[in-house]
Structure 1
Amino acid sequence: MKTALYRAMLRIRMVEEEIARRYPEQQMRCPVHLSIGQEAPAAAFGLALSADDRAMSTHRSHAHYLGKGGDLEKMIAELYGKSTGCCGGRGGSMHLSDERAGFLASTAIVGNSIPVGVGVALAQQLRGESALTCVFLGDGATEEGAFYEAANFAALRHLPVLFVCENNLYSVYSPLSKRQPAERDLCTLARALGVPAEQVDGNDAQAVLAVAQRAAAEIRAGGGPRFIECMTYRWREHCGPHFDDDLGYRPTGELAAWQDRDPLPRLAAELALTDTDRQAMIAEIGAEIDRAFELALAAPYPDESTVFDAIYRTELSS
């Protein structure tokens, strides 16, 4: 399991680094929000979830999609707007969806996927299913009314929903200190709504996996919703492929301090991976990534005749 966890994190890191490298070519015509530096929660919760479980995500969804078993080739094609993408080229980076992988949706609107995920959990409960729904959210989403309403309903109905909050301290350029009172604690807030909550070091992959497995087991046993706050940090700009530490919105040295806590070498050291083993893993994943980009670039764009496909509308009767 440790090796699978490391590989999942390394794969996410390598995929997103390649997206960042190619993005300036101007062929991915959609915004991209990268999770470089905060791969551990996506990888760990992805391993803790079953194939029957469902997941919902945010605008920063690549890692969650891949962690849940999403198709890399379809994801890269989607970023290029190609017909072979997981949404047929219509969604782009912020609207990944793949029912086969149990990854139902991601959305660009902060907090928007939370009530949808709770609705999915309600359906699971009504059907008597043993599966759960995992809703990924950022710290900024806890400032939205949708979070409070959805968490309250989940607690009231004892729903099988797992709220995973990736607290990377910032909402675009605004730190928590500019958005929430200093004495506020997100886990205490969740508990006040009736949802058991726990905070974990989001850069300690093994610790995250242990919490994820325990929370999932408690939900499957009928324990109702859970809220897990993963303390982590994004290395690059809020939206885009570049580093933006020069803008001055982060304290001097903060990024470097979090980079020193990189979850990948941390877990590699615990695994005692040899350099040979690591290089073999890198080569294997690199070949998979290269093929995904080659296929995406060669794939066709959606045909113009399909522009109105999959659009819901109301027919007026004559």
Structure 2
Amino acid sequence: MIMSDFPSKEKALGMYKKMYEIRKYEESIYYLFLEGIMPGTIHQSTGEEASAVGMLYDLSHEDWMASTHRPAGHDIAKGISVKAMMCEMFGKAEGCCGGKGGAMHTGDISVGAMVANAIVGGNLPIAAGVALAFKMQKKNNVVVCFFGDGASNEGSYHETMNVAGLWKLPVIFVCENNLYSATTSISLTCLQENVAADRAAIYGIPSEVVDGNDVLAVNEAATRAIARARAGEGPTILELKTYRHGGHSRNDACGYRPKEEEAEWFAKDPVVLFRKKILEHGVITEEELQKEEAAIEQEIEDAVEYAKQAPFPANEDALINVFKEDDE
């Protein structure tokens, strides 16, 4: 990228701060679970921050997003506060889903973040349905739908791609290809190297393979795909090559991953690389940046303390949002 192509200071710094916020939130969650302070389980997106921020940074709250069982980065990038996320993780009433969702079911429709779907590939037809609604209502909004490499082998994936391509739905399908479906290398389950992009032509959908650890490359691809969708030209499949720093879930020690592979990908840490890039472009000084980072770290510490003290849902709240037939 040449100097003239670099984003404005406001956008570059804004994207970095959001990436850093996601990273520090995930780190905080990790230690809270490790110490036994927080209940449940987690599927973290540490190392995939560029994917979430690059794709979602330019969307409005009227544009919707569908996430997976690994939703924290997507939700924070879409606009859910770390306080609401942290309260949800502690099962508190002020959580983004009222304390009922936990780590795999966060979301907030008010910012366009559909509640995450933990079924592999389960969010794909839902995202297509929302996109169809936008099209039928003649709205100029789009849907961004994330899925993992493993979901590209699900029946729901192929059915959704077929319909989305046929009906030219305003949806961007984003494959976060982190090389592993849970603990299994994607090379053992798919013949194609680019598991989503190489099969896109079957459905008449254009595709791109993007460096998923480069937030600017992701954002540029997102800009093109979003413009196509808004113009009525239909969906795009973006395959972002990235790598999760941790295991599939918190009990996964990653013994199946070659150490050389891990070292290669950890050296391409998206947060570290973008931090270096904004300093090189004179967006901000090191001292100023450290102050911004410290403020984010304090925000997350405050969110943890707030969530610990926040009230649990009332017992009767268990009946809210549950289908109940009329007694008559």
What is the TM-score normalised by the length of structure 1? 0.95
Distance 1:54 1:280 in 2: 32
Q: Partner of 1:38 in structure 2? A: 48
Tell me how far 1:19 sits from its aligned partner. Answer: 0.7
Residues 10-35 of structure 1: CA deviation (Å, up to 9, x unaligned): 11101101111111233322221111
Tell me how far 1:182 sits from its aligned partner. Answer: 5.0
Distance 1:307 1:38 in 2: 34
Contact 1:75–1:86 (CA<8 Å) still a contact in 2? yes
Runs of 4+ off more than 6 Å: none
Distance 1:184 1:229 in 2: 7
1:285 aligns with 2:300: no
Q: Which amino acid is the alignment partner of residue 244 of structure 1?
A: A
Farther off after superposition, 89-98 or 303-312 = 303-312
Q: Which amino acid is the alignment partner of residue 264 of structure 1?
A: V
Alignment of 1:77-96 (within 5 A): 77-96=87-106
Distance 1:181 1:170 in 2: 14
Distance 1:279 1:184 in 2: 38
Alignment of 1:38-117 (within 5 A): 38-117=48-127
Contact 1:235–1:243 (CA<8 Å) still a contact in 2? no
- SS of the residue aligned with 2:57? helix
Distance 1:183 1:76 in 2: 37
1:294 aligns with 2:294: no
Contact 1:43–1:64 (CA<8 Å) still a contact in 2? yes
Tell me how far 1:100 sits from its aligned partner. Answer: 1.1
Farther off after superposition, 178-187 or 289-298 = 178-187
Q: Partner of 1:271 in structure 2? A: 278
Distance 1:183 1:198 in 2: 13
Distance 1:53 1:137 in 2: 18
Distance 1:128 1:196 in 2: 23
Tell me how far 1:277 sits from its aligned partner. Answer: 2.3
Identity rate, percent = 38
* Stretches of structure 1 lacking an aligned partner (at least 5 in a row): none
Residues 241-270 of structure 1: CA deviation (Å, up to 9, x unaligned): x7724x2x1123111110101112211222
Distance 2:141 2:292 in 1: 32
Tell me how far 1:188 sits from its aligned partner. Answer: 2.0
Q: Partner of 2:196 in structure 1? A: 186
1:304 aligns with 2:315: yes
RMSD: 1.5
Q: Partner of 2:248 in structure 1? A: 238
Residue 243 and residue 283 in structure 1: after superposition, are their counterparts in 2 closer, same or farther (change >3 A)?
farther
Tell me how far 1:183 sits from its aligned partner. Answer: 5.9
Q: Partner of 1:155 in structure 2? A: 165
Residue 291 and residue 183 in structure 1: after superposition, are their counterparts in 2 closer, same or farther (change >3 A)?
closer
Contact 2:187–2:193 (CA<8 Å) still a contact in 1? no
1:252 aligns with 2:262: no
What is the TM-score normalised by the length of structure 2? 0.92
- SS of the residue aligned with 1:181? coil
* Stretches of structure 2 lacking an aligned partner (at least 5 in a row): 1-10
Distance 1:46 1:139 in 2: 19
